[in-house]
Amino acid sequence: MRIATWNVNSVRQRLGHLLDFLKEAEPDALCLQELKCMDADFPRREIEEAGWQVETHGQKTFNGVAIISRSKLEDVRRGLPGDESDEQARYLEGVLPLGTGVVRLASIYLPNGNPPNTEKYPYKLNWMRRLTAHAKELLAHEEPLVLAGDYNVIPEPRDAREPAAWVDDALFLPPTRSAFRGLINLGLTEALRATTDTPGLYTFWDYQAGAWQRNNGIRIDHLLLSPQAADRLAGVSIAKHVRGWDKPSDHVPVLVELRPQ
């Protein structure tokens, strides 16, 4: 079973890239972030005509998450619990039936939090607290669970080409990294670091200052696995070549392979 996550950075602008990636990678499910469109404007027809099922949680201009899958999702939840006033479309969850088993899957677009001296950073940390509380409830079900997405968190210095450039950024501040560790410490496994300690593995390269050409990247797109999913972990890969496509997203897909039950 192959599950992927990708901050597509405007699904309508990258529709061609999205269809190409689905054909190339053949995932069982792909979690998308930063759709930048309402549900009604999502290019559902083109994706469904290519043989896929689609669930979306969109928002005009900003945010938005989706899950594209081979099988229709069940028990779909739109929005992260814990704050009824939060209108930002950043969380989508569902159950993916596969053979005799299921995998619960979430597409996550965690807030950026910059600038840290504004209300955006407390919102980020509170969102992370809500995610941790919800993940704790999900883990109690003791089922395969994959929390996939753009976390806007650089976990460690080795996850940035130039760590010193990020010390005052909301993605790398100590409270951010501490909150991320707290989430993992619930009993989740960070898929890539469970398979390799190799430095220089990145998922995002800024459009500015030749970051891609100089490989000046950061790793902020992650897949976190429950123990029942981690027991089936067979491998993780970063589709780095996608960043070299014409007019790409600034993020690339990350894929996890899970062995059959």
* pLDDT tens by residue, 42-95: 999 999 999 999 999 999 989 999 999 999 999 999 999 999 999 999 999 999
* pLDDT tens by residue, 17-50: 999 999 999 999 999 999 999 999 999 999 999 9
Exactly one of 57, 121, 134, 150 is catalytic; name it. Answer: 150
Exactly one of 17, 57, 134, 251 is catalytic; name it. Answer: 251
Q: How far apart are CA 86 and CA 211, in angstroms?
A: 34
Q: Is 34 annotated as a binding residue?
A: yes
- Are 33 and 6 spatial neighbours (Cβ–Cβ below 8 Å)? yes
Residue 49 Cα to chain centre, angstroms: 24
Q: Is 221 annotated as a binding residue?
A: no
Exactly one of 17, 57, 91, 109 is catalytic; name it. Answer: 109
Q: Which helix (H) or strand (E) holds 32?
A: strand 29-33
- Are 52 and 22 spatial neighbours (Cβ–Cβ below 8 Å)? yes
Question: Is 150 one of the annotated active-site residues of the chain?
Answer: yes
Q: Is 251 annotated as a binding residue?
A: yes
Question: Is 17 one of the annotated active-site residues of the chain?
Answer: no
Structural domains in the chain, CATH included, are: 2-258 (3.60.10.10)
Q: Is 20 annotated as a binding residue?
A: no
Regarding pTM above 0.85, the answer is: yes
Q: Is 250 annotated as a binding residue?
A: yes
Judge whether residue 261 has pLDDT over 90.
no
CA dihedral 142, 145, 150, 156 (to 10 degrees): 60
Question: Is 197 one of the annotated active-site residues of the chain?
Answer: no
* pLDDT tens by residue, 104-146: 999 999 999 999 999 999 999 999 999 999 999 999 999 999 9
